[in-house]
């Protein structure tokens, strides 16, 4: 048993040394310079033409689509049309997570507006 624990210990040490060498190689790699991404690079309109209302409306529509897809997948599983329970659960979690993120954004925006309103001039 002593030989087995020595062999296992050596294998663990070897694995740890390999991982440390890999991390050192990554740390020594050159850092890429920052790049500026313009709105035309991403196929978006210039910032002057985008309003907060449009962004929030687009986000709401996107999240609504996630919810509709999740509902459709769940109904298919419930009716026996599909046996993709994992896909239905993933779609449901994606819809839930995106809705939670939207609520957090809404809360931050409301907090910012309240801070602006309470600011004295």
Tens digits of per-residue pLDDT, 23-56? 777 777 766 555 565 655 555 555 567 788 888 8
Please tell me whether residue 121 adopts helix, strand or coil conformation: coil
Residues 60 and 93 in one domain: yes
Do the domain assignments include residue 69? yes
* DSSP one-letter code for 3: H
Q: Measured between alpha carbons, how far is 74 from 61 in angstroms, rounded to an integer?
A: 20
Same domain, 78 and 109: yes
Residues 79 and 103 both lie in one domain? yes
Domain that holds residue 21: 1-31
- Rounded mean pLDDT, 57-64: 91
> What pLDDT, on the 0 to 100 scale, is given for residue 45?
54
Residue 19 — very low, low, confident or very high, per pLDDT cuts 50/70/90? confident
| Count of domains for the chain | 2
pLDDT band of 6, cuts 50, 70, 90: low
Closest CA to 99 of 57, 66, 53, 58: 66
DSSP tally for the chain: helices H, then strands E: 3, 0
């Amino acid at each position: 048993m002593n030989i087995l624990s020595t062999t296992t210990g050596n294998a663990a040490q070897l694995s740890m040394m390999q991982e440390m060498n890999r991390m050192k190689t990554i740390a020594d790699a050159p850092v890429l310079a920052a790049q500026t991404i313009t709105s035309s690079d991403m196929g978006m309109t210039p910032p002057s033409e985008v309003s907060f209302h449009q962004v929030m409306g687009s986000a709401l529509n996107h999240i609504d689509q996630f919810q509709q897809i999740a509902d459709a997948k769940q109904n298919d599983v419930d009716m026996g049309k599909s046996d993709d329970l994992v896909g239905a659960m993933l779609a449901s979690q994606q819809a839930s997570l995106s809705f939670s993120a939207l609520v957090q954004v809404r809360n931050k925006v409301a907090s910012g507006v309240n801070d602006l309103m309470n600011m004295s001039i």
